[in-house]
Amino acid sequence: MTFREEAVETFITEVFEQSKARIRASDGCQHMELLRHKSRPNVLFTLSIWDNEAALEAYRASALFADTWAKTKALFAEKAEAWTVEVID
């Protein structure tokens, strides 16, 4: 997620900090963390591990996701990207 530079701390303190415990407590969420690009500090990533695709989709359909995403995307400088990946080794 690429944020407007002046919006990074707003995202961290007013969105992520306020929602991280509830996201981590969502059914099927095994792990979730926030990462920052080393040379572009306004680029952040969330890395999450879910029990299965159904658990992730249930979270994406939740009121928690809708509220968090609305607050988050208002702070973007660029359109966000999301990937679903699998461990192969």
- The 10s digit of each residue's pLDDT in 37-72 is 999 999 999 999 999 999 999 999 999 999 999 999
- Give the pLDDT band of residue 81 (cuts 50, 70, 90): very high
Matching CATH number, 6-73, of 3.20.20.140, 3.40.50.300, 3.30.70.100, 3.40.50.2300: 3.30.70.100
CA distance 25 to 39: 31
- End-to-end CA separation in angstroms for the chain: 27
Query: If you search the block for the tokens 């966000």, which residue do you land on?
Result: 80
CA distance 20 to 32: 8
Q: How distant, in Å, are the alpha carbons of 27, 64, 65 from that of 61?
A: 12, 9, 7
pTM: 0.91
Outline where 7-62 has alpha helix (H).
8-10, 17-24, 53-60
- What is the per-residue pLDDT across 7-34, written as a single tens digit (0 to 9) for each? 999 999 999 999 999 999 999 999 999 9
